[in-house]
Chain A
Amino acid sequence: MLELYNISFGVTAEDKQKEIIRDVTVRVPDGGLTVITGPNGGGKSTLARLIAGIEKPCSGKILFNGEDITEKSITERAKLGIAFAFQQPVRFKGIRVIDLLRIAAGGKLSVSGACDYLSSVGLCARDYIDREVNASLSGGELKRIEIATVLARGALVTVFDEPEAGIDLWSFQNLIEVFEGMRTSMRERSILIISHQERILNIADEIIVLKDGSVAAAGPKDEILPTLVGTSSAVKSCPRIDGAKGGEEA
């Protein structure tokens, strides 16, 4: 169980203190898929970075399976079982897909093991395993590789920061299937997704709404989602395509 208690975080810009997260308390239960949504600028991505340890809160406490990890580094949190998928996957010159998957898996990973992770994100391993994770890969390919590295972590909690950013609609549909597959295959593990896409909210078990840095609502999907449809907390990726399933663009 991942628990955040009274987390606040701010930055100083142009000599002014700006509060991004205000006194946020949330619990991410073991197992299941939790989505954090909310309007742009509401602090969603910041909260994800606070969980991964990339940012440190000004106040509050983060507990992971009862252990206080507030002061722990990114590396320590990764080793405890928190994985983080970047909104903008990072490119590396000279580091191959297999190298990255091996680092993610903690060193030991056979080629066929690596192929399994790539196949599960819809990439033909043969074409990708020796490719460098550099600018020759498209945004969609990078995103899938990013997700494959996160799968290879086998983490207890996996945080996805706006996984739909930078990918086309076709890939987006496959992405949803990847998340559904993860939920089925990793029952005891938790998935935490930062997103305001209605189609991702649709597959959630729990939804947390973050607005102006505070929790505006939290609870089971069936309770929360109906209140969000038609707002900027549940947007459609494309009115023409999503519209066929009913509803208007927010």
Chain B
Amino acid sequence: MKQLDEIQKRLLREVADLHEVPEGAYNIRSNSESAGRRSTANIEIASKTDVSGLEITIKPGTKRESVHIPVVLTESGLTEAVYNDFHVGEGADVVIVAGCGIDNCGNQDSRHDGIHRFWLGKGSHVRYVEKHYGSGDGAGKRILNPVTEVYMDEDSAMEMEMVQIKGVDDTVRTTKAELAAGASLVVRERLMTHGSQTAVSIYSVSLNGKGAAADVVSRSVARDESYQKFDAKIVGNAECRGHTECDAIIMDKGRILAVPGLEANNVDAALVHEAAIGKIAGDQLVKLMTLGLTAPEAEEQIINGFLK
């Protein structure tokens, strides 16, 4: 593996909890170059030949293996689009950890657009974790526009954990999923914006087969003058269950727009949307203060818990 500098290592820790070379298959991308790669007997990582990105093939029946594909950017002004395709074989059960960390100390915008596509074979199970993190105090923006597409065959299951807590100036996250019979998708998004950041999350989930189920839940905090939009649409085309939820705290002059979208095209589609936006409840602050915390400490505890 190539030598990474301290900033790159710190970004890797933030987005992938990586302190050393990970176990299992991995590809670490640093400033548009591969800084290290390993395939395993069951998981093959190959470079795409037409565009920048990876072709990741997981053999049917692969159990308890992991794939790490973190990306770090530390050069100001770098703009890249990366296409990663995951082919998950029938009955496989894997953990995939992606994520992007940008440190921009310069004056030019740094931007990473990751387009991740997943094809889940019958009965396969994927836990997917994607973390975004930005640091650096340059005037250049840190921009991430991830696109995730998931095509789920019968009885496959996917849990997606999307986290963006700090430092990303501008995000448009687009997630699209198509579920066949018996497939289930669970999404847990955690987002915090501050300063003048904007973050848009767009979900479009189609439940196409009998017994398909989706649960998309976003918890977010908008501080300072930041803006968030949560636009989650679930389409029920069969006997299915769908639930979306936006639970948000606004602080300072933060703004949030939640757009519920449910489309039932089958009489047996059961779809629910919930949304709640508000400031931190005064009695929550008071309660923690009676336990000895100062007001800012109480606020921190409440937000940490909420985004946990």
Interface residues in chain A, defined as those with a beta carbon under 8 Å from any beta carbon in chain B: 52, 54, 73-75, 78-79, 83-84, 86, 88-90, 92-96, 99-100, 103-104, 106, 149, 153
Complex Cα distance, B82 from A52, in Å, reads 57
The answer for the CA separation of A77 and B306 in the assembled complex, in Å, is 27
Instruction: Give CA–CA (A99, B302) in the complex, Å.
Output: 11
B228 smallest CB distance to A (angstroms)? 18
Among B1-9, B83-91, B289-297, the stretch that binds chain A is: B289-297
Query: Contacts A54-B286, A86-B283, A103-B301 known; A93 to B306 CB distance under 8 Å?
Result: yes
Q: How large is the interface on B (under 10, 10 to 19, 20 to 34, 35 or more residues)?
A: 20 to 34
Chain A contact residues: over half helix, strand or loop, or mixed? mixed
Using CB atoms, name the residue of chain B closest to A82.
Answer: B290
**CB atoms of B291 and A95 under 8 A apart:** no
Whether A74 contacts B308 in the complex (CB less than 8 A), given A92-B302, A93-B247, comes out as no
Q: Is there an interface contact between A78 and B306, defined as CB atoms closer than 8 Å?
A: no
Name the B residues within 8 Å of A90 (CB-CB).
Answer: 281, 283-284, 286-287
Q: Is the CB of A95 within 8 A of B289?
A: no
Residues of B within 8 A of A153 (CB): 291-292
Asked whether A78 lies within 8 Å of B308 as measured between CB atoms, the reply is no
A89 to B219, CA, bound (A): 23
Given contacts A95-B305, A104-B291, 15 further A-B contacts (CB under 8 A): A75-B294, A83-B290, A89-B287, A90-B281, A90-B287, A92-B305, A93-B219, A93-B247, A93-B306, A94-B304, A94-B305, A99-B301, A100-B291, A103-B288, A153-B291
State whether the Cβ of B18 lies closer than 8 Å to any Cβ in chain A: no
Which residues from chain B contact A92 at a C-beta distance below 8 Å? 284, 302, 305
- Chain B residues near A103 (CB, 8 Å)? 288, 291-293, 301
Tell me if B200 is interfacial: C-beta within 8 Å of chain A.
Answer: no
Smallest Cβ distance from A166 to chain B, in angstroms? 14
B247: chain A residues at CB < 8 Å are 93
- Across the interface, which residues of B come within 8 angstroms of A94, CB to CB? 219, 304-308
Q: Which residue of A has the minimal Cβ distance to B286?
A: A54
Smallest CB–CB gap between B199 and chain A, Å?
A: 20
Known contacts A92-B305, A95-B305, A103-B301, A78 near B284 by CB under 8 Å: no
Q: How distant is the Cα of A104 from the Cα of B291 in the complex, in angstroms?
A: 5
